[in-house]
Amino acid sequence: MTGDTHYDLEILAELAEGLLDDATARRVREHLAVCDPCGESLADLAAVREMLAAVPVPAMPLGVAMRIDRALADEPNPFASVPVGANGLSKLSLVPALDASAEVDSEELATVTPIRRGRRVWVATLGMAAAAAGVFGASVLASSLMSAPGGTLAEPPATSVSTPERSPQRTLAYTVRASGHNYTSRELSGPLVGYFGPEPGTGSNNDEQLDACVQDKANELDRPPIAVDRAQYNGSEATVMAFWEDQSLDKVRVVVVDDNCRELRQDGLATWN
Amino acid sequence: MTPPPEQPATPEHSAVAGARASVTDADLLARHIGGDPQAFSEIVKRHRDRMWAVALRTLGDPDEAADAVQDAFMSAYRKADSFRGDAAVTTWLHRIVVNACLDRMRRKSVRPVADDELIEAAERDTQLPDQTAEREVSMEVTAALKLLPSDQRAALVLVDMMGYSVEDAASVLGVPAGTVKSRCARGRAKLAPILSHLRNRTDLTRVSSAKGAELRDG
């Protein structure tokens, strides 16, 4: 086949996949050697593969991940030999018990779930998640997170009243999660409320090195962090800390450090809500 | 099923996974069947990003993709004992996710997608680099994929977008390798005229890929 006749794209694509029989493949190759338009078409086909490969692979949004975690936590393990107790308590044992000191109205929290179907507000799981994490300062954090999904302008968390301010030896109250999420610079410019909610299963901080690092940064900035996430930043292991810059303006200072507490980028400002 | 080298599974790095890194997926699944309440969530943590990417690309809609992935993980959680050791756990999970996506597409027939919705979805859920050229290409590719029949789209998502081998894609889709190849070939043939105008807008112009050049030059 030469001259004005050309092979269609499907034949050329099959040639590229090695799907043609030997005789046909040879004929098409002979044609390609002398036909520029068909060569162009073959290049177009190769470009399709490259373009598909170049589309970025997105990470699962944290809201979706948390929704799935919730759904799984609500589902009794079908293979567990211990039957769910009549009072349903064995199901609750999957998540840490509520910290007794946290003044969280658990009934109020319970109304936040289940999540609505349709265009759902993923952030709605945060209230429950905060309670489940049983972190110090949960009452403060939980109430602020809970008011966010309702669309009401969330009162940003008030500075903790129980923590003595400006004392270098103070024990910091903050929530730590280990999302493993790979943050981009764009995400870290906010809003952050959807990312920094604790998820069930990650407890409070028990890593001394991390604690020392957070303490350092808190001392430097002379304020306690709102939340800390052990995650990644542009593909590297990172700890992301959020501090209030100006609560009334919804401004958050974001500090990103590596495992040795070295800053991976300059502090950035972000929005919380 | 081995993930392509350029896209290593990330959750290995998380602090929680660190301690469990040496535990295989099959071990975790066995623990889950043994009643371990944490084992399955570790599996989810390891693989959720890939499952999300497959579902989002196959369905082209973040809300649909979220539902499909959730359905798939719930189904895997409940039917973990249906896993047969003759395939990798990841292959089994991919199969459940892909089937959940294809089911959704079949049930909904073809839903027309408005342009602004596409833009919104792309902005919300893909971490696109700021270069507008790349961004436009990504959006046009996403839109063009939706024009393909679902079987061709699913094959191209796995092979060309996610970088799986034809053999791995074949076991995920439950069809012979030759079928995957021909679905890919037909899908690419449909996409080529739609996307050809993008070739000069990016640095993809040097794509006369090794294979293409080899074929052309004999």
Query: Residue B192: phi, psi to the nearest 5?
Result: -55, -50
Determine the pLDDT at residue A192: 80
Closest listed residue to residue B12, CA positions, set A38, A180, A141: A180
pLDDT of residue B131: 57
Amino acid in the structure at residue A38: C
Chain B contacts in chain A segment 132-161 (CB below 8 A): none
Asked casually if ipTM beats, i.e. exceeds, 0.90, the reply is no
pLDDT interval class at A48 (50, 70, 90): very high
Q: How far apart are CA A257 and CA A241, in angstroms?
A: 8
| pLDDT cut 90: percent of chain A above it | 22
Q: Is A85 on the interface with B (CB under 8 A)?
A: no
Residue range A209-228, pLDDT digits in tens: 888 888 888 888 888 888 88
Per-residue pLDDT reduced to its tens digit, A82-137? 444 444 444 433 333 334 344 434 333 333 333 333 333 333 344 444 444 444 44
Residue from B6, B7, B13 whose CB has the most chain A CBs within 10 Å, to mutate:
B13
CB–CB contacts below 8 A, A to B: 213
Q: In chain A, whose CA is at the least distance from the CA of B70?
A: A68
Cis preceding linkage at B129, omega within 30: no
Q: What is the pLDDT along chain B (218 residues), one digit of tens a residue?
A: 555 544 444 444 444 444 555 788 989 999 998 888 889 999 999 999 999 999 999 998 899 999 999 999 999 999 898 888 777 898 999 999 999 999 998 887 645 455 455 555 555 544 444 556 677 778 888 889 989 999 999 999 999 999 999 999 999 999 999 999 999 999 999 999 999 888 766 544 444 444 444 554 54
Buried-state track A236-254, b at ≥16 Cβ within 10 A, e below 16: ebbbbbbbbbeeeebbbbb
Residue type at A158 in one-letter notation: A
- Shortest distance, CA A166 to any CA of chain B (angstroms): 30
Candidate from B7, B15, B188 with C-beta closest to A178: B15
Whole-number average pLDDT of chain A:
69
- Note whether B192 contacts A60, CB cutoff 8 Å: no
Q: Tell if the CB–CB gap between B49 and A78 is shorter than 8 Å.
A: no
**Is pLDDT at A167 greater than 70 in this prediction?**
no
Take residue A48 and report the two structure tokens written for it: 């399709």
A13: contact with B, CB 8 A cutoff: yes
Domains, chain B, with CATH or none: 22-118+132-202 (1.20.140.160)
**Residue A246 token pair:** 């100006």
